[in-house]
Structure 1
Amino acid sequence: MKLFYFLLSGLVIFTSNLVLANDHITVTDKGLVIRFEAAPDGTKVLRLEAVTSEIFRVSATSKSEFKETNSLMVKEDLSYEANWQHEIDADTLRMWTDKVTAHVNLKTAEILFKDPSGKIILKEKTGGGRRFDSASTEENSYSSFSQHFQKNEAEGIYGLGQHQAGLFNYRDRHVDLTQYNGVAVVPFMISTNQYGLLWDNNSITKFGDTRIPEPISKLTLQPGLEDDAKGLKAIYASDRSNPTKGLERLESTIAYTDLPSLKNLPEFDQHRGAVTWTGYITPEHVGIHTFKLIYSGYIKITMNNQVLMDTWRESWNPGFEEFDYDLSSTATAVKIEWIPESDQSFLDLSYLKPLEGKEEDLFGFASEAGEYLDYYFIYGEEMDDVISGYRTLTGKAKIMPKWVMGFWQSRERYKTQEELLETVRNFREKQIPLDNIVQDWSYWEEDAWGSHEFDKDRFPDPEAMIKEVHDLNARIMISVWPKFYEGIDNNRVMDEKGMLYRQNIVNQQKDWIGEGYVSTFYDAFNPAARSMFWDQLNKRLFSIGIDAWWLDATEPDIHSNASISQRKTLMDPTALGSSTAFFNAYSLVNAKGIYEGQRKAAPDQRVFILTRSAFAGIQRYSAATWSGDIASRFDEMERQIAGGLNFSLSGLPYWTTDIGGFFVEDKYDRPHPEGDALDEWRELNTRWTQFGAFTPLFRAHGQYPHREIYNIAPEEHPAYQSMLYYNKLRYRLMPYIYSITGAVYHEDNTIMRPLVMDFKDPKVRDIGNQYMFGPSIMVTPVTVYQANTKAVYLPKHAGWYDMYSGKFLEGEQTITAEAPYERMPLFIKAGAIIPFGSEIFHTAERMQDEILLFVYAGNDGEFCLYDDGHTDYAYENGQFDKILISYSEQDKTLKINERVGKKHQNRVDKIDFKVIVIDRDKPKPLDFDQIPDFSFSYTGEALSIKLNN
């Protein structure tokens, strides 16, 4: 690496008003270290390094030196490859590559980044945007700190993992980055202003508006307009059919957030009762207030007779919501109605007042603990470039086994060996495509959680069960928790070696199984513990044929609904240090142990992991994430779309959700739904299946009622017919889907693509309920019960086609799309080339020897058809096929380029192509039996076909 130094140290030291220390600049092979005497934001040492031409690392500390640590999220073999230069001019230090210039203000220590044209991409807060404080941990070396940046005009901000409030664009929002069941934290954001930020910190972090939400007691609360009393009038009724009669009291705070806080509830029948709060709110500051809600049970919130929230969440797993309301100087009438449904339901209401002055123009990260402030700035002309930069830092996303891209059937849970096998047999007999059956938890004996052994009474021959699944051309995934009951052998061995978190054992805290058992989790931050955990799984499960791993409760959820302080205590200390400092990273190191263990045990078999929690870098361990234990409701389904899109924009390409939702309202529960509830249940599962077929992983799961298609509706019912249609369509699309899976690894691509990734249309920046599935298919899920139309925005483009009819539609308009019960609106962009395969019922049924190629005219386009060994790692060594297919609108010519790549075990010598051409004047339906316009065979040499003959 050649470096050019323009070091004017004498001039800088003696220039007036600078705050640099003596020997203030040190040049290293990676960048510069700058020392300050009195930077206004407390920075004493600032480090600026160039990783690549597009990526800069910024580190800062309020101490005299950096205490170096190994990053968990950044890959261990990261190489610094940038050619960079620097110079000092007056009070500014400039360090640049051919893509990015970083400017350091030597008075304030603030940094701004510019592109080659001189345009500001990102600027730290004017005057210095950092803050350092002592962290509240037993480790004195930790600090808490924050970094704030200036917002760019109208930029959209996305990523940050998966969150459940239904928000898409995080500009002007507060985002709590705390791991939780349903919340997957990835401290990486991406902007429409051509940059991303990876915040390298493992502790609980606040993003955006980093203020801590305040309890509603900070507002002026009155039970009545003429009442001098302070607070809202609360009625705790033990009979929800008569909610106005019950215990009355004034309450200024609604903060029943976790188990410790529930003791503040008065005595009333929570199973049958209801609580109502009424009164008036007057704010200290007039303007739009953001109300933050943690809730379970039914909640309805009304202000000035406007319903702002009306939803439900299972009692044992509270959800997160927020809403905005413009509070004026006059009192606002408020009514809050809560049906808790159990004695472990939760409700917390807090708020953020309007920002004022210059604070409105800022966003930032604020973390609880770390050795020093550390972030990576990533520049990219397109969002795909920024995500590629994220993976440069944190690791490539692996290609999943091809069977993973098929349909998975699961339920909570198959209680016996015969139940599981009968399900697979039914799918095969009924000719419903299936690739994976999932065995959820409690397959062990009741008192043997963590043994990883099947209960012999219910699963008498696990090896024979697995063999039959394989003989039926399916795979089996199994639920594995990092949890161990006190007294079992695996617990004892790990405990003797100091590999377990001890506090839950000391507390003798029992779980919810039977009469309850005492348990704890292993310390996944300990490399030896990870190795032992894998050895246990290998001995009991992998060695008998288990194909993949479902890693549950990886937040880690040692004791559900404990307070944050309790959760920290239960996982403290970790092998790396305080739980405060490493709170968010458990899922990453847990997945690391499984991935590394299996790759060593079976080097030629692709690892597949599904984990409930996630963290930056987990994609390099062949891990996907699902959205947790969500509710079976239409509004919950809608929230999943924005959650999945932001997860994808966090650089993690493999995401899934429980089709149908995990936990159901009473109207759907045992013995079975009836009447209107049955109709709604079937439609909910139909609409969710339509959506799920166009997510990276296609997976049905949930509690009772059973989620198999034939248990939801009879074969002649439109629900059954629609679910089967989309299942089969997914398999027809397998050449397309597996090709974009290959592009995830080879081109750092993204499967589930928010419209903002592909269209320079400002109208798409807030659209979080439509998206592209791969490069060509726009998906518009229907999330309203009994809806038969959907408002759809067609982005500015050369044009769009209705996928089913082939009808052409102009872009840059909102249409009312037909959405009958059986169909979800799907649109194809002009210029798309979509390869469909033959009808199959599992992914290994047929090689890629026949392709039906739909070409949508109206614009130039291309598609790279990909194939490889499907289940091995030979693709890492170049053993794969890439066939670039392109279409020229001007020439009306289709080109099939020469096949590139090394031969692999699934290569076919000849591919038969059948081409269907759709244009605005000749719409054609999505019919796989129609006579093709052109047919030809391809043997690997380049071909060119005129499509206007």
Structure 2
Amino acid sequence: MKLRPAFALIAILFSFIVSKAQSWQSTDYGIRTSVADQTIEIQFYSHSVVRVIKLPAGKKFDKESLSVTGTPQKTVMTVKKEGQFLNIRNAKIRVQLNLSSGAISYYTREGAPLLKEKDEGAVFTPFDDAGNGTFNVQQSFVLDSDEAIYGLGQQQRGKMIQRNLRLHMVQGNTDDYIPFFQSVKGYGLFWDNYSPTQFADNPDSTFFRSEVGDGIEYYFMYGGNADGVISCMRELTGQAPMFPLWTFGFWQSKERYKSQDELVGVVKKYRELGVPLDGIIQDWQYWGNNYLWNAMEFLNPEFYDPKKMVNDVHNQNAHMIISIWNSFGPHTKQYNELEKIGALMDFRTWPESGSEKWPPNQDYPSGVKVYDPYHPAARDIYWKYLNAGLFSIGIDGWWMDSSEPDHLQAKPSDLNNKTFLGSFRKVRNAFPLMTVGGVYQHQRALSSGKRVFILTRSAFAGQQRYGANTWSGDVFASWNTLRNQISAGLNFSLCGIPYWNSDIGGFFLNAYPGKLKDPEYRELYVRWLEFGTFCPMMRSHGADAPREIYQFGNKGDKAFDAIHKFIKLRYSLLPYIYSSSWDVTANNSSMMRALVMDFARDKNALDINDQFMFGKSLLISPVTRPMYVKKTVIGKDSLMVEDFNTIKTKETYLPAGCYWYDLWTNERFSGGKKVIKETPIDIIPVYVRSGSILPIGPSVQYAEEKKWDDLEIRIYPGTDGKFALYEDENDNYNYEKGIHSTIDLNWDDRKKTFTIGDRNGSFPGMPEIRIFRLVLMDRSPMSENELTTKAGKRIEYSGKKLSVKL
């Protein structure tokens, strides 16, 4: 059939467009092409990590990522055009680009589907960002209908699986958003954008949409499992350094100690009571009035000799960290210097009034302003005063409050504030990354004798590289809030940031007007502390009432004794905890582990939001409902009273694939079923996975009191097991130079043989000879009160390999 001229012209044009759309070129790290008025570039950062860039045709993209520290690598790959698809294969994955629609799909090397973009899923909408012409950017994906995904930062929603939800991702006090999720299928996706972002998941699609972007940029990574994905994320955005051993002990704080005598007295009281303690924290207003906000000096006369205060804490074998903020009062030296370089932002922040009274007196505005941490000179100024006023007198670490930062009664125009890197809107969510990073980098440059430790209220992708432990913000005390902390911390950890904690007991006590006199609150506090025993930092803190152990009675009182018992348990687990932290640094592991990390094949474990693994051996099942209070009517009044006469229980699911041992009684259970555990006020369900090798440390009053030269080693049979016992100088960065030691412990379950490997490495002060007391836990009944075992087999070890038949 002969075409008429008009149709012939259309056919020629269509053929030209298709051929143009299907052209592509190789680059050093992948390919580049143009499809449907978009430029698409695919870059390989490794065999497992792919960077995708999409731009409107004719636009350029030269962004230097704030989160990503990795660089693209040349990898062995094949590129083959098959019809309208371009298939790029390497040793781990296959990436398929639809040359007609521009949609990208991801597969395993063997061809199993992982993730695909939605056809026509990339959207660029012109946007004026404070006078700069840019775009709203969106990319949509298609997930399997029953696919479990995790991550997206920390949210107070109680959800474990992050499906069927919509999030407005802007950092806040109790919500830390990270535009990253990972799938039970073993892949992860990081949306590298810092502006306010919408995440939505519905039956049709899953998408990220950000307010500001010169282009779309995201990273796809395939790790095979959750640990593998986290390893990819850390290789992309930075490794987590070691914290000092003392950070893993017990920490006491409150809002706030009002004098140096009060603060030093708390440490002294703990020592007198024989209750272990490693640190105390000084909250705000040590600088004086609000016009001097965050002066980073002790200008409050109640702190009459700051150097002596720090020395007094140190002389009691404790450490001290202190509150610092990301804003400054108008009478501070920092404010004046920052104002001169245009590094202060103009929006409402805390505190609003110069008066300390509540509510704020708006007739006397504080004038406090947030600084610009994106500005290198501003970060220099910040550290100059932090070093001069606090680090120089021996403060051990930093409590960076309001690191999101506080943005009160926010208006859209506030985001027009100019920062060193453009509008505040463009870089909004990276604020915590930049301010925490500034402190870390400056301290590391100045000193290697003390490891950086930063407790911070907010985080963004990559923050694990800056020695930061994030807490969940100023949460309100309630049983529901306690329960929500579990899934919040787990999803946060699944984003690759391994250190997280919460205010034990909740920050605000609004629901409990009786404060510590309320028996339900006392029970809540004890249960929260029991949960906190198995978090990367065990820290008691809050407003409205003090939280020191002696506020809950005396020895012999149930609350006091339960608190003391779990603090001691924390210290007995320090060899396990510190070795697990080395596993984080050396092997990209995680301390708080959602069940999907170790039991992805057990579908019953995937959506449990009130259990987790602490390290790879301990299954923790916190009690998150009241059990021992009841309402009593006296005349016309009703009172809540404690009732310990009837012991209550909690049900726990034990994942399939192994045996489980009750930590308290040593009773053994098969996995893949639910079990009931009696939970008096001083017990929560804790189970040890078969194959675990659990080192138990000495009884101490602080973490470094005794060397680990005499350890009980508990072996839980039923599965082969291994554990690497790690030791170093407990502080400083010499471990990065190889100055540390590891001892590999192995259990052969069939042969019933325990092998202690050759010691690898050394460090000053290392015990040359040590005692291991080996206890095979299948025949050792336990005492729930003291967690003691029958004496095991005593082995003297001098660093050379030896095997023992048990």
Instruction: Normalising by structure 1, report the TM-score.
Output: 0.78
- Paired position in structure 2 for 1:95: 88
User: What pairs up with 1:460-475 in 2 under 5 angstroms?
Assistant: 460-475=304-319
Deviations, residues 712-741 of structure 1 (Å, cap 9, x unaligned) = 222221111011001000000000000000
Contact 2:781/2:790 (8 A) holds in 1: no
Matched, 1:828 2:699: no
- Paired position in structure 2 for 1:710: 550
Deviations, residues 489-531 of structure 1 (Å, cap 9, x unaligned) = 22112111222114559x9964663444111011001011001
Contact 2:44/2:72 (8 A) holds in 1: no
Task: Note the C-alpha offset of 1:78.
Answer: 3.1
Distance 2:707 2:513 in 1: 42
CA 1:35/1:740 → structure 2, altered by over 3 Å: closer, same or farther? same
Of 469-478 and 82-91, more deviation after overlay is shown by: 82-91
Matched, 1:492 2:339: no
- Paired position in structure 2 for 1:436: 279
User: What pairs up with 1:384-399 in 2 under 5 angstroms?
Assistant: 384-399=227-242
Task: Note the C-alpha offset of 1:82.
Answer: 2.7
Deviations, residues 423-444 of structure 1 (Å, cap 9, x unaligned) = 0001111111111100001111
- Paired position in structure 2 for 1:734: 574
Contact 1:609/1:622 (8 A) holds in 2: yes
**Which residue of 387, 401, 405 maps to 2:248?**
405
**Which residue of 723, 744, 763 maps to 2:604?**
763
**Which residue of 166, 172, 184 maps to 1:180?**
172
Find the residue that maps to 1:668 and give its secondary structure: coil
Q: Which runs of 4+ in 1 moved over 6 A?
A: none
Letter of the 1:185 partner, please give it: Y
Task: Note the C-alpha offset of 1:810.
Answer: 1.4
Letter of the 1:745 partner, please give it: T
- Paired position in structure 1 for 2:356: 513
- Paired position in structure 2 for 1:915: 774
Letter of the 1:845 partner, please give it: E
Distance 2:300 2:475 in 1: 32
CA 1:756/1:918 → structure 2, altered by over 3 Å: closer, same or farther? same
Distance 2:413 2:197 in 1: 17
Distance 2:57 2:392 in 1: 51
CA 1:79/1:875 → structure 2, altered by over 3 Å: closer, same or farther? farther
- Paired position in structure 2 for 1:681: 521
Find the residue that maps to 2:422 and give its secondary structure: coil
Of 726-735 and 862-871, more deviation after overlay is shown by: 862-871
Letter of the 2:395 partner, please give it: I
- Paired position in structure 1 for 2:181: 189
Deviations, residues 115-137 of structure 1 (Å, cap 9, x unaligned) = 12111111111x23211112341
CA 1:361/1:887 → structure 2, altered by over 3 Å: closer, same or farther? farther
Distance 2:552 2:74 in 1: 55
Contact 1:885/1:897 (8 A) holds in 2: yes
Task: Note the C-alpha offset of 1:144.
Answer: 1.1
User: What pairs up with 1:550-565 in 2 under 5 angstroms?
Assistant: 550-557=399-406, 559-560=407-408, 562-565=409-412
Letter of the 1:538 partner, please give it: N
Contact 2:188/2:222 (8 A) holds in 1: yes
- Paired position in structure 2 for 1:365: 208
Contact 1:203/1:584 (8 A) holds in 2: yes
CA 1:620/1:513 → structure 2, altered by over 3 Å: closer, same or farther? same
Contact 2:21/2:100 (8 A) holds in 1: no
User: What pairs up with 1:147-546 in 2 under 5 angstroms?
Assistant: 147-209=139-201, 360-446=203-289, 447-502=291-346, 510=353, 513-514=356-357, 515=361, 516-546=365-395
Task: Note the C-alpha offset of 1:643.
Answer: 0.3
- Paired position in structure 2 for 1:278: none
Find the residue that maps to 1:59 and give its secondary structure: strand
Distance 1:842 1:790 in 2: 32
Distance 1:476 1:526 in 2: 29
Matched, 1:891 2:751: yes
Matched, 1:58 2:57: no
Matched, 1:850 2:691: no
Q: Which runs of 5+ in 1 are unaligned?
A: 1-12, 210-354
Find the residue that maps to 1:187 and give its secondary structure: strand
CA 1:513/1:757 → structure 2, altered by over 3 Å: closer, same or farther? same
CA 1:508/1:171 → structure 2, altered by over 3 Å: closer, same or farther? closer
Contact 2:398/2:454 (8 A) holds in 1: yes
Task: Note the C-alpha offset of 1:23.
Answer: 9.9
Distance 2:21 2:185 in 1: 37
Instruction: Normalising by structure 2, report the TM-score.
Output: 0.92
- Paired position in structure 2 for 1:648: 493
Find the residue that maps to 1:584 and give its secondary structure: helix
Contact 2:296/2:390 (8 A) holds in 1: yes
Distance 1:442 1:453 in 2: 10
Distance 2:765 2:589 in 1: 23
Find the residue that maps to 1:129 and give its secondary structure: strand
CA 1:195/1:645 → structure 2, altered by over 3 Å: closer, same or farther? same
Contact 2:286/2:298 (8 A) holds in 1: yes
Find the residue that maps to 2:132 and give its secondary structure: coil
Task: Note the C-alpha offset of 1:30.
Answer: 1.6
Find the residue that maps to 1:854 and give its secondary structure: strand
Find the residue that maps to 1:852 and give its secondary structure: strand
- Paired position in structure 2 for 1:773: 614
Task: Note the C-alpha offset of 1:66.
Answer: 2.6
Of 14-23 and 614-623, more deviation after overlay is shown by: 14-23
Task: Note the C-alpha offset of 1:83.
Answer: 2.5
**Which residue of 438, 442, 450 maps to 1:593?**
438
Letter of the 2:48 partner, please give it: E
Distance 2:16 2:583 in 1: 52
CA 1:684/1:593 → structure 2, altered by over 3 Å: closer, same or farther? same
- Paired position in structure 1 for 2:4: none
Task: Note the C-alpha offset of 1:140.
Answer: 3.1
**Which residue of 63, 78, 91 maps to 1:85?**
78
CA 1:573/1:805 → structure 2, altered by over 3 Å: closer, same or farther? same
- Paired position in structure 2 for 1:584: 429
Matched, 1:44 2:38: yes
Distance 2:461 2:242 in 1: 18
CA 1:94/1:433 → structure 2, altered by over 3 Å: closer, same or farther? same
Distance 2:402 2:590 in 1: 26
Distance 1:512 1:863 in 2: 55
Task: Note the C-alpha offset of 1:647.
Answer: 0.7
Deviations, residues 395-418 of structure 1 (Å, cap 9, x unaligned) = 001111111111110000001000
CA 1:779/1:23 → structure 2, altered by over 3 Å: closer, same or farther? closer
Task: Note the C-alpha offset of 1:915.
Answer: 1.1
Letter of the 1:473 partner, please give it: N
Task: Note the C-alpha offset of 1:166.
Answer: 1.2
- Paired position in structure 1 for 2:397: 548
CA 1:457/1:463 → structure 2, altered by over 3 Å: closer, same or farther? same
Find the residue that maps to 2:286 and give its secondary structure: coil
CA 1:626/1:777 → structure 2, altered by over 3 Å: closer, same or farther? same
Letter of the 1:778 partner, please give it: L
Task: Note the C-alpha offset of 1:147.
Answer: 1.1
Letter of the 1:73 partner, please give it: S
Deviations, residues 224-281 of structure 1 (Å, cap 9, x unaligned) = xxxxxxxxxxxxxxxxxxxxxxxxxxxxxxxxxxxxxxxxxxxxxxxxxxxxxxxxxx
Matched, 1:31 2:30: yes
Contact 2:478/2:511 (8 A) holds in 1: no
Distance 1:857 1:145 in 2: 54
Of 608-617 and 199-208, more deviation after overlay is shown by: 199-208
Find the residue that maps to 1:473 and give its secondary structure: coil
Distance 2:675 2:490 in 1: 22
- Paired position in structure 2 for 1:753: 593
Contact 1:898/1:941 (8 A) holds in 2: yes
Distance 2:780 2:351 in 1: 71
Find the residue that maps to 1:464 and give its secondary structure: helix
Identical-residue share of aligned pairs (%): 36
Distance 2:351 2:236 in 1: 42
- Paired position in structure 1 for 2:508: 663
